[in-house]
Homo-oligomer: A and B are copies of this chain.
Amino acid sequence: MSLLRHIHACNTYRPERFLPLYFGGERVGYVRRDNAEVLRRFPRVIEVGADALRILPRDDGAAVTTALDGVVEALVADGLISKWRDEVFAITPRWGEPPLFTLDRGAVSFFGVRAYGVHLNGYRRIRDRTWLWIGRRNPVKVVAPGKLDNMVAGGIGGGLGALATLVKEAGEEASVPASLIAKAHAASAVTYKMEVPQGLRDDVLFVYDLETPDDFVPRNTDGEIVEFMLVEAREALARVGDTDDFKFNVNLILIDFAIRHGLVTPEQPEFLQLLAGLRAGGP
């Protein structure tokens, strides 16, 4: 059984293949060198230098958003990226700072800007053992079709905070009532930098835990999840080690859960590497 391989699979970023993307004095993304060449077509929006790319300044964030949206439309027209149902992500240099501009979710990897999401471990304690609510993703999804997933997970879009995103997704994906999701608590975060065909995923996933009561069964309403099952946490962890049944980043969320709940212990030689690896994408 190898848990570390999932951490390696999510941390494939090779810096030499990318150039930093700046806005003002702040780095906001990493653009793969071949993608940077493509962006030379938009000199009024992005300056492509030998060592870095710069988004040119405008009057305000809205003007930057509009200018970048023009670039995104052109890239979509050329088939280089796909628009993501017009869902936008707020771009900040660092978590917790005010957004500089927004970007269509479909362009996030192309520009290698940091994306934030929330994952919820829904679990029960039955006869002194921990059981996890595991969902199976709809086979028609673009990303990781048919793979196993957390009870709730979703990207933090423009405008919503982490907790507000969790509450919204918990309602849509698993019919968790507001009174129950209020008992969820923040517990961790997982970060990684992963090369993908479009560019780079620079992801931060905020992790929440929720012990669900006996009478609660998750029920999906938005078509993202086709079934939920209750799996003993030890069994889920063994499946993480032995298979690729879970969505790539959900493996990391479950390793993090297993460490925090005593299912991976210091007696395992890779304990410290796992702990560090779960935050290998940096703060």
Residue numbers of A with Cβ under 8 A of B are 94-97, 161-163, 185-189, 191, 204, 206, 259-262, 264-273, 275-277, 279, 282-283
Contacts and interface: CB of A to CB of B under 8 A. Distances in A.
B261 A185 contact: yes
A262 B186 contact: yes
B272 A283 contact: yes
B283 A277 contact: yes
| This chain's copy number in the assembly | 2
A283 B279 contact: no
Contacts of A96: 268-271
Please indicate which of the listed interface residues A204, A267, A277 has the most CB atoms of chain B within 10 Å of its own CB.
A267
Given A275-B279, A283-B276, A188 B260 contact: yes
Nearest to A204: B272
Contacts of A204: 272
Nearest to A183: B128
A266 B191 contact: no
Contacts of A264: 186
Nearest to A165: B266
Contacts of A266: 95, 161-163, 186, 189, 206
Contacts of A267: 161-163
Nearest to A208: B262
A269 B97 contact: yes
A187 B260 contact: yes
B265 A189 contact: no
A271 B207 CA distance: 12
27 contacts: A94-B269, A95-B266, A95-B271, A95-B272, A96-B270, A96-B271, A97-B269, A162-B265, A162-B266, A162-B267, A163-B265, A163-B267, A186-B262, A186-B265, A187-B262, A188-B275, A189-B275, A191-B272, A191-B276, A204-B272, A206-B266, A206-B271, A273-B283, A275-B279, A276-B279, A276-B283, A277-B283
Nearest to A162: B266
